[in-house]
Chain A
Amino acid sequence: METIVCECGHSNPYGTSLCQACGKPLENDVEVLTSMRYEGSARRSQVYKKTIVDQVWNFFSSVKVGVWLIITILVAAAIGTIFPQVTFIPPNVDPATHYETEYGTLGKIYYLLGFHNLYGSWWFIVLLGLLGLSLIIASLDRGIPLYKALKTQRVTRHNKFLENQRLFSVSKEADLEEIKYTLGSLRYKVREENGNLFAEKGRFSRWGAYVNHVGLIIFLTGAMLRFFPGMYVDEIVWVREGETTSIPGTKDDNGQYYLRNNDFILEKYDKKDKKFNSALNSVEGDVAKNYQSNVTLFKSNKGTVIGEKGKLEKIKDGVIRVNEPLKFDSFALYQTDFKLDELNKMSFNLEDKTSGKSFGKLTVDLHEPETKYDLGNGYKVEILDYYPNFILNDQDEPATVNNLPDNPAFVFAMYSPQKPQGEKAFVGIMKNIDSGDNTLKMSFAGLETKDLTALTVKKDLTLWIIALGGFIFMIGVTQGLYWNYRRIWIKQNQGEVWAAAHTNKNWYGLKKDLEFLTEKTELTPLEDRVNSSEK
């Protein structure tokens, strides 16, 4: 590819608008000030337009395309918040009908267009991917030429370059040493060449944009890796008080982690609390203060088969609260949900139906009831049928909703020396039905309950990548936005002294520097041509 050789002797890549070394406009119609954004360097993509690959590349190199991608993502995300996402609707409902019944026609359209699961939809992922592509290409296309241009820039600049700067002045004479000293006191880095000066400050801020783009690319890569097998575990585990259960997703060749729930604690704010009195009384019900699970972590030994209790080795005791997960290996357990007072054991007295005389007491474990209970003296009870969560089904037969003992009911057979053939009764909560001529009766005699805790099991190996990306982004955005690249050129030109200045932003700050400079030296104050032309 041909190069353009400037009169100063520097050869520039094809497409350059301002000479990298001296800043001379290389074509007649070049506007110096707008070209300064990228130092007049050739944005490579604009130069070659050959193959399809080049065309695709050029397309994504454009800031305009980048901005359109940002806006598209923004609008899509905004639409995605109109109705709840599918992850927020009640479980066990069919999303296809849910959106229509809840939100009408709009809801149906919303569902059909896939906005109900926007952030997992293929086209949203494509948009994010294209944004990443645009970030990479646009940064490469601008960052590299800019770096080269700033590196090759010379102290002595072409007259056309200087007189077209926004801030410019011509002085009769000036003391170079004095200027140098003053600029130094303003912490400019000053270079001298043939009696000309070039002072610059904050060049590194020009890299801010590229650094933050690198951060974003790392961040997006991390977000992408989440979908790769083995990087991410997200499970939920319910544990009843006093029980030990395996933690899903934590099995490997060395065994599996187990967790015992020693105690689940729910604390509420005291309504009489002086500090929060009025706030607490303005809401109905209680305000929770603490959800906490006291747990013990175990690990099974190597080679234990699933289902086999095996030998569990205690790893540690721990406390899990909201905001305070329990961490081990690359896993963390988060307090997520709970169920209070699940029925655990129920006690009954076997009584004489008329006199109420008790013949003995039995306790039924609702999770594993015994079939037969011998109460002595010829009195026996047998459980014929058990419905942990009783309901009458469509055929009006007793049935159970599920295996949770939320509404237990039993069919008892009761035996006494007088009636060894037995009497039957159906007993549930607030129910006791028999054929009418029974002499015996089961009467409720107390119950035991237990709490359950639900913990989220999480492993996320992408976290450090995400964090690194965020960190680099913050560095880049800070360096790019809190600093700026200021340059001042002083050139001795046929008995006059030309001064010009440029900054990529914050002209106000640069002007303050120049005011200080011209006050201390004999330089003519620099005129702001943009500002004055507007007035």
Chain B
Amino acid sequence: MSEISSTLLYSAFIIYLFSTLFFSMSLSDKKSSEAAYTKKWGKVGFITACAGFAAQLGYFITRWIASGHAPVSNLFEFTTFFGMMMVLGFIVLYSIYRTNGLGVFAMPVALLVIAYASMFPKDISPLIPALQSDWLKIHVTTAALGEGILAISFVSGLIYLIRTVDQTVSTKKTKWLEIIMYSLISVVGFVIISLAFKGAGYESSFEVMNKQNQPVKIVYELPAIAGPANGDHLDRGFGPLFNTPSWMQGVNASMKLNTFIWSLLSGFVLYGLLRLVLRKRISAALQTKVKNVNSELLDEISYRAVAIGFPIFSLGALIFAMIWAQQAWSRFWGWDPKEVWALITFLFYAAYLHLRLSRGWHGEKSAWLCVVGFWIITFNLIAVNLVLVGLHSYA
């Protein structure tokens, strides 16, 4: 069963790739004379996206059967599910607005999320007592769905910015847009570099003392730029160039920091190559592709995504979370970092809604806010487990 499951996930990934391809074929930089052509490829892209979603749903169900619990219990499973919910969010919003441009960007971002997920250990893991509750599936799935839909508001806001920010001169705005592009490319870099070293079978070990003062072996799968705090290098592998500061306390923090540095470096190389090929800013290159997309509609989609996603997020990430926490830990709120960052996400989107509804922040301002919102969501997803300790530091 678990083989079928991973095959299905793999196929979903490939199908999403095709969907991205079809959606980008639907964009034309010529005037709208070729509406039929656009419509056709858009439809093909959308159907492909649905097929990919079906395949991934298949993965989800088969993995559930194989493990006996909802596959949302470790970082691989959760991040994959988050990607899936992004696709679902896209499907919902596309079926309302039928904007092909959204697909060209939403599908690749979802792909990145799923590719990123697959870098975590994929073993089916047993549930520790705290996770043995029906609220695991209820809380995590709802929260992920909310985050997936909110992610679409980021995608739409991003396209809005690419479409409207003036690229003829270099400004703060163009720089920030490039930083976003660079971050997305870094995820690609991370996946490539991880696969490359995994393919080559690279391993390098360190020995550190854990909290109970027992020696523990940490195995790096990437050459060590950042070594563990107070660790002994056990073999003659590369590095480390410096040691991880000891306040980073998450599980395997040093390894994650090392991976993070590698991602930034490889992202830098990829980004540089792209700039060399394109001979202009990446967002400027993309701007020509999306100049026919209706910016007013993009603004509305990004707002609508927040309007749909916000209640779901509140329900899943705060209310269901509180009910579960009351049951498992005897208090509904404990100021655990993951909880706090969920609250921060909630407060941020609440501020967004107030600024938009009462103070008329539309268009570009609103789009930048959506970018920041997505940054907060990914920070909670990745950095809280990386840097901060707490009850959610499984895996």
Identify the A interface with B (CB < 8 A): 34, 37, 63-64, 66-67, 70-71, 73-74, 77-78, 80-85, 87-88, 102-103, 118-119, 209, 234, 269, 273, 275-276, 278-280, 282, 284, 287-291, 321-325, 332, 334-336, 456, 458, 463, 466, 470, 473-474, 477-478, 481-482, 504-508, 530-531, 534
Contacts and interface: CB of A to CB of B under 8 A. Distances in A.
A335 to B, nearest CB: 8
Contact of B354 (A70, A275, A458): A70
A530 B68 CA distance: 54
B126 A323 contact: no
Interface string B320-361: 001000111111101101001101100110110011011110
A46 to B, nearest CB: 13
Nearest to A269: B126
B328 A478 contact: no
A323 B314 contact: no
Given A74-B351, A456-B330, A323 B97 contact: no
A40 B65 CA distance: 58
A45 to B, nearest CB: 14
B66 interface: yes
A508 B300 contact: yes
A83 B350 contact: no
Contacts of A335: 129
A480 to B, nearest CB: 9
B310 A477 contact: yes
B326 A323 contact: no
Contact of A322 (B132, B341, B384): B132
Contacts of A34: 360
B303 interface: yes
B307 interface: yes
Given A63-B358, A474-B311, A73 B347 contact: yes
A80 B133 contact: no
26 contacts: A34-B360, A37-B360, A63-B354, A71-B347, A74-B344, A77-B347, A78-B340, A81-B388, A82-B388, A83-B247, A209-B357, A276-B125, A278-B123, A280-B125, A322-B129, A322-B328, A325-B330, A466-B322, A470-B319, A477-B311, A477-B314, A504-B357, A506-B300, A508-B96, A508-B97, A534-B296
Given A64-B359, A66-B354, A505-B303, 4 more contacts: A63-B354, A88-B390, A322-B129, A335-B129
A280 B330 CA distance: 28
A135 to B, nearest CB: 11
Given A74-B344, A279-B121, A474 B319 contact: yes
Contacts of A474: 311, 314-315, 319
Contacts of B348: 74
B123 A323 contact: no
Contacts of A287: 126, 128
B124 interface: yes
Contacts of A473: 314
B196 interface: no
A270 to B, nearest CB: 10
Interface of B, secondary structure class, is: helix
Contact of A478 (B216, B311, B354): B311
Given A78-B344, A284-B216, A531 B296 contact: yes
B304 interface: yes
B351 A70 contact: yes
A282 B121 contact: yes
A77 B340 contact: yes
B167 interface: no
B21 interface: no
B181 interface: no
B127 to A, nearest CB: 8
Nearest to B128: A288
Nearest to B356: A505
Nearest to A142: B358
Contacts of B359: 63-64, 67
B214 to A, nearest CB: 9
A516 B354 CA distance: 32
B193 interface: no
A35 to B, nearest CB: 12
A67 B330 contact: no
Contacts of B300: 506-508
B94 to A, nearest CB: 13
A289 B129 contact: yes
B38 to A, nearest CB: 19
Contacts of B97: 508
Contact of B307 (A325, A336, A456, A481): A481
Interface in B176-216: 216
Contacts of B304: 506, 508
Nearest to A71: B351
B337 A81 contact: yes
Contacts of A83: 247
Contact of A282 (B123, B303, B340, B343): B123
Central interface residue in A119, A282, A336, A508, by most chain B CB within 10 Å: A508
A361 B360 CA distance: 87
Contact of B126 (A67, A209, A280, A507): A280
B138 interface: no
B351 A67 contact: yes
B135 to A, nearest CB: 8
B67 interface: yes
B340 A80 contact: yes
A481 B311 CA distance: 8
B308 interface: yes
Contacts of B334: 87
Nearest to B306: A481
B46 to A, nearest CB: 18
Contacts of A505: 303, 307, 357
B376 to A, nearest CB: 9
